[in-house]
């Protein structure tokens, strides 16, 4: 009871302080500086946090002030976040990929007084963002600083040790309640301008506290932090969860370094979006196909054994002695090595969130003996449900986290309530009222609960296509199936008011180029040439038909266009979390959509 009371009284800063006291000499952060790998203990991080907290107070930052962070993951990001929380201030993380105009929106909407930037490139976004916006003080983590811009190292160096000031600031922070606002996390903006979800300390810590009730985690675990810390999943699961238990956080250098980091970091826990797991599966399948014939047949045999075992387990049965013996042999000869090459030798489990995990990918990981747990949440409610290592049902997003309630409305919408629910949208009472009713979050997602409480998400309410015939089509599951093709990178379906479904397809240009050259077509160097090549169009048509066999006739894609370039964040077609913005895509490719058949 005493421990539970202490947990309920925690703020982000007090959770960090408690861990720093218990595990002062244990590693907290591991990161690469050039070719050198550096480590900071919890005690060393605490010293930096307190120094920065003193420096921010000297710059006038008080409780409730908003402080932005415009940077990719790095140690300074975490130190800045904890120092901001240690003042009872509110941090506003901003994706480093956003253009100046969107940075201006975040700063203006949040009312930020101070902003940490990664380097001179990010500083330039703030400086040029909006000449009419209120002035903000800029502090740059690295690189040469311009006049009027503070250096992070210089700012911290100015903060002389002061035990009396530290004690006063600790006393002030002790008055901060767990339900006070800790951060504004902006929605991805798939349905309009990004809105600042106000999340409390309790909301940010609840996921980590709840996870410890069904997963054995402790200070020996190592978390590889890859997703941007602006992403709510990474924030609660990749930062605050390891801080709660005193685990080490390895800060990734980004997508190009990930494969090596998974192999070398000895990470035990990894949180990521489905696309990365899709790439792991694709890489493994391609590598097996390129093996010498005998080794290739052995690997395919091992995978087939893993699939048979998974089928039996999913049916609720226990594998028989023959299948168990075959799986042990397959694991010893192939699967164990495959797991280590994909995720390292120490990985205990993977977590997928942020979008729907394709069933093929979940099944593949389970077949090779890898525990991949899919969860579900929103910016406004970080984690609502999660599969458990002992109860992992592929195709569902698990059961409600301890303390969270889920129900399905009469219209099929997923509703949730619990400690992680946001306090509301900043300065948007009408949007808040439409999102939260009677204490329940209205997710906007269509879903169902099975008899054991496992949640299955089928689509977004606003994304449902209503055909001219009145038939409703859920596009996301079909799009996910199309993306399983090695020749398709993105697929976006449309069809409101039409007789049939149509699609815009972003091809996988490299795979299609290889295919066309093998067919004797040499005029395929440019994406533009591929997008209109008759053989490429026939190839994609066959891929679409292949995944349509189990679809109703009205759900099948009747016409499509290949696009000559990928969607990007910079053009506004993707959100910072890599979700497609349907409205933007529809506007940008209005001519292509208008040209497609209405049959």
Higher pLDDT, 110 or 279: 110
Please compute the mean of the pLDDT values over residues 332-360 and round it to a whole number.
Answer: 91
Residue 497 has pLDDT above 80, yes or no: no
Q: What is the pLDDT of residue 599?
A: 44
Strands in 83-204 per DSSP E: 90-94, 114-117, 137-140, 150-151, 181-186, 196-200
Comparing 116-120, 266-270, 355-359, 447-451, the range with the smallest average pLDDT is 355-359
Q: 10 Å Cβ neighbour count for 360? A: 14
Buried b (16+ CB within 10 A) or exposed e, 517-527: eeeebeebeeb
Q: Cβ(156)–Cβ(48) under 8 Å?
A: yes
Predicted confidence (pLDDT) per residue in 206-239, tens digit: 999 999 998 889 999 999 999 999 989 999 999 9
Name the residue among 333, 376, 319 with its Cα closest to residue 353.
376
Name the residue among 419, 89, 436 with its Cα closest to residue 236.
419
For residue 380, what are the contacts with CB-CB under 8 A and spacing of at least 6? Answer: 187, 197, 421, 422, 435, 441
Determine what percent of the chain is predicted with pLDDT higher than 90: 72
Q: What is the pLDDT of residue 3?
A: 57
Predicted confidence (pLDDT) per residue in 128-146, tens digit: 756 666 689 999 999 999 9
pTM of the model: 0.84
Residue 421 has pLDDT above 60, yes or no: yes
Confidence bin at 247 (pLDDT 50/70/90): very high
Confidence bin at 398 (pLDDT 50/70/90): very high
**Cα 111 to Cα 96: distance, rounded to the nearest angstrom:** 19
Q: 10 Å Cβ neighbour count for 33? A: 9
Q: What is the pLDDT of residue 4?
A: 55
Please compute the mean of the pLDDT values over residues 359-374 and round it to a whole number.
Answer: 94
**Cα 212 to Cα 218: distance, rounded to the nearest angstrom:** 9
Q: 10 Å Cβ neighbour count for 296? A: 14
**Cα 337 to Cα 368: distance, rounded to the nearest angstrom:** 10
Residue 16 has pLDDT above 50, yes or no: yes
Determine what percent of the chain is predicted with pLDDT higher than 70: 96
Q: What is the pLDDT of residue 204?
A: 98
Confidence bin at 469 (pLDDT 50/70/90): low
Please compute the mean of the pLDDT values over residues 274-290 and round it to a whole number.
Answer: 89
Residue 286 has pLDDT above 80, yes or no: yes
Confidence bin at 55 (pLDDT 50/70/90): very high
Q: 10 Å Cβ neighbour count for 85? A: 26
| Cα radius of gyration (the chain) | 25
Predicted confidence (pLDDT) per residue in 86-105, tens digit: 999 999 999 998 888 888 88
**Cα 229 to Cα 233: distance, rounded to the nearest angstrom:** 8
Please compute the mean of the pLDDT values over residues 518-531 and round it to a whole number.
Answer: 84
- What tokens were used for 350? 């993977």
Comparing 111-115, 178-182, 258-262, the range with the smallest average pLDDT is 258-262
Four-CA torsion 433, 434, 439, 440, nearest 10 degrees: -170
Predicted confidence (pLDDT) per residue in 145-195, tens digit: 999 999 999 999 989 999 999 999 999 999 999 999 999 999 865 555 789
For residue 576, what are the contacts with CB-CB under 8 A and spacing of at least 6? Answer: 95, 97, 98, 188, 228, 230, 569
- The residue assigned the tokens 């720093």 is 20
**Cα 172 to Cα 87: distance, rounded to the nearest angstrom:** 8
Q: What is the pLDDT of residue 578?
A: 75
Please compute the mean of the pLDDT values over residues 410-420 and round it to a whole number.
Answer: 95
| Chain mean pLDDT for the chain | 91
Buried b (16+ CB within 10 A) or exposed e, 271-290: bbbbbbbbebbbebeeebee
Please compute the mean of the pLDDT values over residues 304-317 and round it to a whole number.
Answer: 95
* Apex 371 CA angle, 373 and 270, nearest 5: 70
- What tokens were used for 386? 């999660």
**Cα 290 to Cα 174: distance, rounded to the nearest angstrom:** 60
Q: What is the pLDDT of residue 6?
A: 62
Domains of the chain in start order, with CATH, are 2-176+222-268 (3.40.50.12780), 274-345+348-460 (3.40.50.12780), 464-595 (3.30.300.30)
Please compute the mean of the pLDDT values over residues 63-81 and round it to a whole number.
Answer: 97
Please compute the mean of the pLDDT values over residues 379-385 and round it to a whole number.
Answer: 95
Q: What is the pLDDT of residue 98?
A: 84
């Amino acid at each position: 009871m005493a421990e539970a009371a202490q947990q309920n009284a925690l703020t982000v800063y007090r959770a960090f302080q408690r861990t720093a006291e218990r595990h002062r000499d244990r590693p907290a952060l591991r990161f690469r500086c050039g070719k050198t790998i550096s480590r900071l203990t919890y005690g060393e991080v605490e010293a930096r946090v307190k120094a920065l907290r003193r420096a921010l107070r000297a710059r006038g930052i008080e409780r409730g002030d908003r402080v932005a962070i415009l940077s990719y993951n790095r140690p300074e990001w975490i130190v800045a976040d904890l120092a901001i929380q240690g003042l009872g201030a509110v941090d506003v993380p901003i994706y480093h990929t956003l253009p100046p105009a969107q940075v201006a929106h975040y700063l203006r909407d949040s009312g930020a007084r101070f902003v940490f930037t990664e380097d001179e490139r990010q500083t330039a976004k703030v400086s040029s963002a909006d000449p009419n916006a209120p002035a903000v003080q800029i502090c740059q983590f690295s690189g040469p600083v311009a006049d009027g811009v503070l250096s992070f190292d210089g700012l911290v160096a100015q903060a002389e040790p002061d035990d009396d000031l530290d004690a006063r600031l600790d006393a002030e922070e002790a008055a901060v309640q767990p339900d006070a606002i800790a951060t504004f996390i902006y929605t991805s903006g798939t349905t309009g301008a990004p809105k600042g979800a106000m999340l409390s300390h309790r909301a940010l810590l609840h996921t980590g506290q709840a996870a410890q009730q069904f997963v054995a985690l402790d200070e020996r675990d190592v978390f590889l932090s890859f997703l941007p810390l602006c992403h709510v999943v990474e924030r609660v699961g990749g930062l605050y969860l390891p801080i709660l238990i005193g685990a080490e956080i390895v800060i990734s250098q980004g997508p190009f370094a990930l494969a090596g980091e998974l192999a070398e970091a000895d990470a035990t826990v990894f949180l990521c979006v489905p696309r990365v797991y899709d790439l792991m599966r694709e890489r493994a399948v391609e590598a097996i196909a390129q093996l010498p014939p005998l080794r290739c047949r052995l690997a395919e045999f091992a995978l087939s054994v893993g699939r048979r075992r998974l089928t039996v387990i999913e049916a609720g049965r226990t594998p028989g002695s023959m299948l168990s013996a075959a799986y042990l042999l397959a694991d010893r000869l192939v699967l164990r090595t495959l797991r280590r090459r994909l995720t390292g030798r120490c990985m205990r489990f993977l977590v997928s969130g942020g979008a729907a995990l394709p069933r093929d990918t979940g099944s593949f990981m389970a077949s090779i003996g890898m525990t991949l747990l899919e969860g579900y949440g929103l910016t406004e409610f970080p984690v609502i449900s999660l599969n458990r290592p002992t109860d992992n049902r592929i195709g569902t997003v698990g059961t409600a986290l301890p303390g969270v309630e889920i129900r399905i409305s009469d219209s099929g919408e997923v509703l949730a309530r619990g400690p992680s629910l946001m306090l509301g949208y900043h300065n948007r009472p009408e949007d808040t009222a439409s999102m939260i009713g009677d204490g329940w979050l209205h997710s906007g997602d269509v879903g169902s609960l099975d008899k054991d409480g496992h949640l299955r998400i089928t689509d977004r309410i606003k994304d449902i296509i209503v055909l001219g015939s009145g038939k409703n089509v859920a596009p996301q599951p079909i799009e996910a199936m199309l993306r399983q093709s090695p020749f398709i990178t993105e697929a976006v379906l449309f069809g409101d008011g039409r007789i049939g479904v149509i699609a815009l397809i972003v091809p996988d240009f490299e795979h299609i180029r290889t295919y066309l050259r093998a067919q004797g077509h040499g005029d395929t160097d440019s994406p533009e040439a591929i997008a209109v090549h008759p053989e490429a169009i026939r190839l994609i048509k066959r891929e679409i038909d292949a995944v349509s066999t189990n679809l109703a006739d009205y759900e099948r894609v009747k016409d499509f266009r290949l696009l000559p370039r990928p969607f990007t964040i910079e053009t506004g077609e993707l959100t910072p979390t890599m979700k497609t913005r349907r409205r933007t895509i529809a506007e940008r490719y209005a001519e292509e959509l208008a040209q497609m058949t209405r049959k």
